[in-house]
Every structure is written in C-alpha cells, then in structure tokens.
Amino acid sequence: MDEKNINTEEVVSEETAETEAKADKKENKEIKKLKEQLEKAETDLAAANDKYLRMIAEYDNFRKRSAKEKEGAYADAYADALSAILPVIDNLERALMFSEGEALTEGVKMTLKQFEDALSRLGVEAFGARGDAFDPHFHNAVMQVEDAELEAGTIAEVFQKGYKKGDKIIRDAMVKVAN
C-alpha cells in the first residue's frame, strides 16, 4: 500500500505542478494584458491632457487677440471722430489770424481755447511747432525753404498742427521744412 500511496502522491504532485504552471501562465497572461491596458490608458490620458493644454493656450491667444482688436477698433473710431472736429479748430485758428474786430477776436479765442481744453481732457496732444526737428512719421512736408536762422531738417512754418492720442497719430502736422 505504501507503493500505491507514493504513486498517488507523485501523480498528485505532478498534477499540482501542472495546475500551478497553468495558473502561473494564466496569471502572466492577465498581468501582461493589464499592463498593456495600463500603458494604453496612460497614452490616452497624455494625449487628452496635451489636447486640453493646447485648447487652453488657443483660447488664451483668442482672448488676447480679441482684446487687441477691440482696442484697435476703439482707437480708430476715436481718431475718426477727432478727425471730423479738427477742421473746425483749423478754421478758428485761421479766423484769428485774419480777424480785425476785437470782440470777434476774443470770441474766437475763447471758442478755440474751449476746443483745445476739451481735446486735452480727452488726452489728445497737438504737435508740430516752428523750430522742432522734422520727423516724417509725424510731419507732412509740403514745402521746403532756405532759412538762415534754422538748421536743415527743422520746421520753418506750421500750416496745420498735428494731433495724437497716446501713440496713435490722428493727423500729421502739415509743415514747411528748412533746408
């Protein structure tokens, strides 16, 4: 009976070893499959995260671009409105040059002063004066003249003042430049 027991034990041991080997193979397959699924999930997560970050950056760029366009539209509308008013100021200045009656002169001076004060409150600055250096970005030279008193490239006479608000040029100054 001992021999039968030993054979049975050997058979049971062999069966147990085979069962364990099959179980190990099955576990290894499952572990491999789970690792593959984990890697795929990590790859998908990284791709989704990258897409999310790109979308946030794109939205931020859109927001900045929209704000800049809005500022530009406001500045252009502001410049258009002021451009419509500037000829009135020019005519008041001309009226002062050629007016003879003192009451008329005082009235025009007061009106001109009110316009200039209003522009100043709006942040609009006049530029272009005799003796200033000529700059083609700010001045429109319509004439040149020989002037011994002034250096070459200097404004000799201003026909029309230039106006700007901040960095935005509303109108170039129309000037005569010394050679």
Distance separating alpha carbons of residues 130 and 163, to the nearest angstrom: 15
Q: Dump pLDDT digits (tens) for 119-153.
A: 998 899 999 999 999 999 999 999 999 988 999 99
Q: Which of 15-19, 25-29, 41-45, 113-117 has the lowest mean pLDDT?
A: 15-19
Torsion of CA 153, 158, 159, 162, to 10 degrees: 90
16 pLDDT above the threshold of 80: no
Quote the pTM value. Answer: 0.53
81 vs 1, residue with greater confidence: 81
What does the pLDDT read at residue 79? 86
Q: Which residues contact 125 (CB under 8 A, 6 or more apart)?
A: 163, 164, 165
What does the pLDDT read at residue 5? 59
Q: Where are the domains of the chain?
A: 126-179
Distance separating alpha carbons of residues 57 and 51, to the nearest angstrom: 10
- Tokens standing for 167? 């960095």
Distance separating alpha carbons of residues 130 and 178, to the nearest angstrom: 10
Distance separating alpha carbons of residues 21 and 27, to the nearest angstrom: 10
Q: How confident is the model at residue 10 (pLDDT cuts 50, 70, 90)?
A: low
Of 84-88, 104-108, 113-117, 168-172, highest mean pLDDT: 168-172
Average pLDDT over residues 84-112: 85
Judged on CB neighbours under 10 Å (0-12, 13-18, 19+), 101 is exposed
9 pLDDT above the threshold of 80: no
How many Cβ atoms sit within 10 Å of the Cβ of residue 175? 26
How many Cβ atoms sit within 10 Å of the Cβ of residue 172? 20
57 pLDDT above the threshold of 60: yes
Fold (topology level) of 126-179: Nucleotide Exchange Factor Grpe; Chain A, domain 2 (2.30.22)
What does the pLDDT read at residue 56? 97
The string of DSSP letters for 65-124 reads HHHHHHHHHHHHHHHHHHHHHHHHHHHHHHHHHH---HHHHHHHHHHHHHHHHHHHHTTE
8 Å CB contact between 150 and 156: yes
What does the pLDDT read at residue 6? 60
